[in-house]
Amino acid sequence: MNTEHHTLNNEQEASVAILFGCLQASGKPVSNRHVEHLSRMLLLSQKFAHHDLQPLAEKALPLLKAFGSRTVIEHSAPLITESFKETLFAMVCELMTGDGELNEAESEIVGLTALYLGVSIELMRIMLTTFIMRNRWNV
């Protein structure tokens, strides 16, 4: 994944690649609602100050198409700083449980993302349960 045009250069690019990778692996089409939600999350995060979603997505999406979600997530995870890994995983949980459910494909990619980010199984379960309860009644 390290050819010149297929390299993620920073934590923000890697984070967006992970978030889109999870969405694409869900088996559901990525909707405008997902993109708007992701955009709002990034706007509210200091990590993404001075970073627009559009160029970050333009870098991530061709990688996902070429290599697939699992490979991109695995190669992106090392670019995430230790202090941001749990926050990014919470963002993944929020995005993936937007409908208050987690199907088998979503559950699998969320578990892999936790593994690659070094989030413990115990914390993963707590976060997922919390977000599922929180989003269960979303419109």
The pLDDT, as a whole number, for residue 29 is 86
Dump pLDDT digits (tens) for 69-122: 999 999 999 999 999 999 999 999 999 998 888 999 999 999 999 999 999 999
User: Is 75 domain-assigned?
Assistant: yes
The secondary structure of the chain in percent helix, strand, coil, rounded to multiples of 5, reads: 70, 0, 30
Q: At what angle do helices 32-43 and 53-67 cross, to 10 degrees?
A: 130
Long-range contact pairs involving 39-44 (C-beta distance under 8 Å, separation at least 24): 41/91, 41/94, 41/95, 42/16
Tokens in use for 77? 């995870």
Parent domain of 109:
11-135
User: Is 2 domain-assigned?
Assistant: no
User: Is 103 domain-assigned?
Assistant: yes
The pLDDT, as a whole number, for residue 103 is 92
Residues 6+ apart with CB under 8 A from 30: 20, 23, 24
Dump pLDDT digits (tens) for 4-25: 456 899 999 999 999 999 999 9
Q: For the chain, how big is the Rg over CA atoms in Å? A: 14
Residue 28: pLDDT band (50, 70, 90) is: confident
User: Reduced to 3 states, what is the DSSP secondary structure of residue 108?
Assistant: helix
Chain-centroid distance, C-alpha 47: 14
Residue with tokens 């979600």: 69
The pLDDT, as a whole number, for residue 17 is 97
User: Is 3 domain-assigned?
Assistant: no
- Write the CATH number for 125: 1.10.3680
The pLDDT, as a whole number, for residue 4 is 46
Dump pLDDT digits (tens) for 41-72: 999 999 999 999 999 999 999 999 999 999 99
User: Is 6 domain-assigned?
Assistant: no
Q: What is the pTM of this model?
A: 0.92
Which residue type is seen at 75? Answer: H
The pLDDT, as a whole number, for residue 3 is 44
Tokens in use for 117? 């980010």
The pLDDT, as a whole number, for residue 137 is 87
> Distance between CA atoms of 94 and 67, rounded to whole angstroms?
24
pLDDT at 27 over 50: yes
Name the DSSP letter for residue 97: T
Number of domains in the chain: 1
Tokens in use for 14? 């890697």
